[in-house]
Structure 1
């Protein structure tokens, strides 16, 4: 949250004219400077409640996301270990019965014959 305020403050400071003496003597630049300050101050005030809500939501979601990663991380790593290269597979297909199939672009040769014409799943 503080980083956002510091970033906005840095943007406001970057938009200010570097030649302060010339700006005051000219008259037009000081009004532009004040307008920019008021504009950015207004934006910060309008965004502050939303950013606070977003921070609260992130704080609420953090334990659930950590739990998901702790529980699903090993299973996803195991699955990725079984799939060599995703480019070797066609996009997933959903069969009429609801099964999802990942077909290889180049099928593997069977390593050994199973008895009675059985198919290894």
Structure 2
């Protein structure tokens, strides 16, 4: 057992200088294809960014303009939406909202809830002695 361990360790130590050496430089023309692909991708994305820059600037301006209105909406509607979400357990259990002719908005459940059991009257309560 000791001989196998010593042989394995010796082989591992002798192989270390081979692993530490730099790989051989590529032959002429071998690496050109990859660098050309990299350069093409860089130019492509640079062109995309130049074309998208005006649209991104417009989007940033739009978000800056909408920020006060969105903050006001969240301030006013936040509590109402929180109350609604407390009443609606899982939104996937409901059909899309429906607008009735009178202006009411209703949310119908996909499967109706089972009826709540009626309270059982206490037999000792409400007895009249005659």
Q: TM-score, normalised by structure 2?
A: 0.51
CA distance in 1, matches of 2:34, 2:92: 58
Partner of 1:97: 102
Partner of 1:68: 73
Q: TM-score, normalised by structure 1?
A: 0.54
Aligned residues: 90
Instruction: Report how far residue 91 of structure 1 moved.
Output: 5.0
Instruction: Report how far residue 29 of structure 1 moved.
Output: 3.7
Q: Deviations over 1:48-72 (max 9, x none)?
A: 1111111111111111111111110
Distance 1:49 1:101, change over 3 A: closer
Instruction: Report how far residue 35 of structure 1 moved.
Output: 2.2
For structure 2, the residue ranges without an aligned partner over 5 or more in a row are 1-24, 119-130
Higher relative contact order (CA 8 A, sep 6+): 1
Partner of 1:106: 113
Instruction: Report how far residue 95 of structure 1 moved.
Output: 3.1
Instruction: Report how far residue 86 of structure 1 moved.
Output: 4.3
For structure 1, the residue ranges without an aligned partner over 5 or more in a row are 1-20, 112-121
Distance 1:93 1:107, change over 3 A: farther
SS at match of 2:85: helix
CA distance in 2, matches of 1:70, 1:77: 12
In the TM superposition, structure 1's runs of 4+ consecutive aligned residues that sit over 6 Å from their partners are none
Instruction: Say which structure is richer in helix.
Output: 1
